[in-house]
Structures are given as C-alpha cells and as structure tokens.
Amino acid sequence: MIPAAFRDTAEAAADAAGAVIRPLFRSQLLVEAKGDASPVTEADKAAERTIRALIADRHPDHGVIGEEYGETNPGADWVWVLDPIDGTRAFVTGRPLFGTLIGLLHKGVPVLGVIDQPATRERWIGLSGQPAEFRSEFGGTPRCRPCATLAEAELSCTSPDMFDAETAPRFAAAKDAARRTTWGGDCYAYGLLALGLVDAVVDATMKPWDWAALVPVIEGAGGRCTDWAGRPLRLDSDGTVLAVGDRALLPEISRLLAG
C-alpha cells in the first residue's frame, strides 16, 4: 500500500508546478537550446525547482530524478521522477498538448503517477493496484477500451523524428498494420489512451522522466505500458515505450516492433 502522504505530495507538487507554468504559457519566454536541441524554458526550470523543494521538505530521505536538474540522493528506495513540462515544443508554440509528469518509483518499480495538464486543468492519477482517476471539467472516465487487433487500432506517436535507422522500419511495420496513426501529444496521448480514445502509443528515445508517471496511470485504466519487447519499464530500459489499452493487443504489436 502506498502511503496516502505520498499521493498528497504528488498532487501538491502538480498544483505548485501548475501555478508556476500557467502565467508563462503563451507568454514571451527566454528559450535556450539544450544539448539535444530541445527547447527548455524558464517554466521548466522554475517548475522543477518548486517540485524539488516541496519533496525535500516533506520527504528528505527520498531520491529525485528530474529532467532539468539530474539526480539527488541516489540509492534511495523511494525515488521521484520529474518532467516539469513534457512536450516543451508544444508549450513554447502555444499548444496545450504538454503536461507535468510526476512519478514515484519504489525500488525501481513505478508505483504512483500523475499526468497534469496545467492549461486545461486536467489530471490523471495512478497508484499501483488501484483504479486510475481523472479530473476534468470535460468529464471522462479513465478506462481503456477494447481493441484486440491492430487493424482496428488508433495508433499514436509523438514524432517520426524519434526513430533511427534501426527502429524506424520496426515502427513502420506497426504503423502500416494499424487502422490509423496520429502524431504529437507527448504525455497527453497517453492520457487519451487511458480515457479510451486511443488504442496504442509507440515512442522511442524515452528517458525515465518521460515514462515513470505514465505506467501507473495506464495500468490503472486497464492497459499495459512496457518497452517494445513487452518487458516492464525500469531505469535501465532501452528507451522504447509501448502503451496499449487492450492487453490482448500487446503480443501482436510487440511482435511487429521486435522486427
């Protein structure tokens, strides 16, 4: 059982990050270039600093891994994994398809996740072994829909640019077998999968802060979130991520992605 205080911390962290991010959305931002050429803004940095301060105050013995400021307290059993703005390119171009990701690992296993959309004020919450929750003025129930074959599936991917010479043909095989493929959305696409609006999401080059919060949400909505081979996601995973709403879909799509 995950202590209730940990969920309270995750939600308080999402609230605090949203209060930092919302005033900067669609404003003039100082955008820097990171080593991987992805845009990073003061919103990313300020939101992560805010979340880290809150965690340090409430759980000083916990570890933290964040996209902007690296790792603290390595070796801790409980480790928070943070992406203050997942989908920074959407954020800096004014599209509300970004989100704040707050995950918690226990001995390397994702056990708690929050996907928070500060602009639309939508929030998905997942805790290991419990049904996922969703809060939004638009309504919706976090429950993945049946879709047993890829030929019937709505497939989503963040961007074709994330594939290299080795992964591109494997993704193409899954794309060609799917009913339809849509692009973009970053973490928001995984939230839509949890709502039964998308059937599968396939991404690559994903870091722990990109997926740690997603696993408890997807699995709490009845789906599965693994690497392309169908293995559980861990800190040493290979960067591939496959999420399916219907678990019966996993073997077919995983076989295609295996090449």
Q: Are residues 15 and 130 in the same domain?
A: yes
CATH no. for residue 64? 3.30.540.10
Tens digits of residue pLDDT in 54-99: 999 999 999 999 999 999 999 999 999 999 999 998 998 899 999 9
Q: Are residues 124 and 217 in the same domain?
A: no
**CA 177, 180, 183, 187 torsion-angle sign:** negative
> Looking at residue 30, what is its pLDDT?
66
% the chain with pLDDT above 90: 90
Alpha-carbon span 71 to 64, nearest angstrom: 6
Is 40 a residue whose pLDDT tops 90? no
Does 55 fall in a domain?
yes
Cα–chain-centroid distance for residue 100? 8
Alpha-carbon span 87 to 231, nearest angstrom: 25
Cα–chain-centroid distance for residue 199? 16
Q: Which residues pair with 156 in a beta bridge?
A: 182, 201
Q: Are residues 154 and 46 in the same domain?
A: no
**CA 123, 124, 127, 132 torsion-angle sign:** positive
Helix residue ranges per DSSP H, 151-232 = 168-177, 187-194, 208-211, 214-220
Alpha-carbon span 63 to 84, nearest angstrom: 16
Does 83 fall in a domain?
yes
**15 among the known binding-site residues?**
no
Q: Are residues 131 and 161 in the same domain?
A: no
Q: Which of 73, 145, 103, 129 is nearest to 234 (CA)?
A: 103
Is 35 a residue whose pLDDT tops 80? no
Q: Which of 79, 104, 138, 109 is nearest to 11 (CA)?
A: 104
What residue numbers bound the domain in which 218 lies? Answer: 150-257
> Looking at residue 42, what is its pLDDT?
86
**236 among the known binding-site residues?**
no
Point out the domain boundary residue: 87, 111, 135.
135
Average pLDDT along the chain: 95
Does 99 fall in a domain?
yes
> Looking at residue 27, what is its pLDDT?
87
Does 157 fall in a domain?
yes
**83 among the known binding-site residues?**
yes
Point out the domain boundary residue: 110, 135, 160.
135
Q: Which of 224, 230, 232 is nearest to 254 (CA)?
A: 230
- 31-35, 61-65, 123-127, 130-134: which range is least confident on average? 31-35
Tens digits of residue pLDDT in 166-218: 999 999 999 999 999 999 999 999 999 999 999 999 999 999 999 999 999 99
Does 223 fall in a domain?
yes
Structurally, the chain folds into a number of domains equal to 2
